[in-house]
Amino acid sequence: MKVYVNDECIDTADASNISLLLKQLNTTPKGIAVAIGANIIPSNLWDDYQLKEDDQVLLIRATQGG
């Protein structure tokens, strides 16, 4: 199945969720926010949120600085 992560096409398993996608991308969940389309998905729902073909996933990493 294809999904788009920050506008990059990624192939993932058909029964994938957000947590599995982050593992596939070798991304630690700490400091990450995830949006699917225009909806922010709370981290406590990542295991339950089933990705769909052509989902637009936006990963945002919190950074420090000033």
Percent of the chain with pLDDT over 90: 88
pLDDT digits (tens, 9 = 90+) for 5-35: 999 999 998 989 999 999 999 999 999 999 9
Q: Are 9 and 40 in contact (CB under 8 A)?
A: no
Containing domain of residue 50, as a range? 2-61
**Does a structural domain hold residue 66?**
no
The whole-number average pLDDT for the span 38-49 is 97
Short-list 60, 57, 59, 42, CA closest to 2: 57
Q: How confident is the model at residue 64 (pLDDT cuts 50, 70, 90)?
A: confident
The reported pTM is: 0.89
Segments of 1-66 assigned E as strands? 2-5, 8-11, 32-36, 39-41, 56-61
**Does a structural domain hold residue 44?**
yes
**DSSP SS3 for 21:** helix
**Does a structural domain hold residue 48?**
yes
CATH number for the domain including 14? 3.10.20.30
**Does a structural domain hold residue 46?**
yes
pLDDT recorded at residue 32: 95
| Number of folded domains that form the chain | 1
CA atoms within 13 A on the CB side of 25: 23
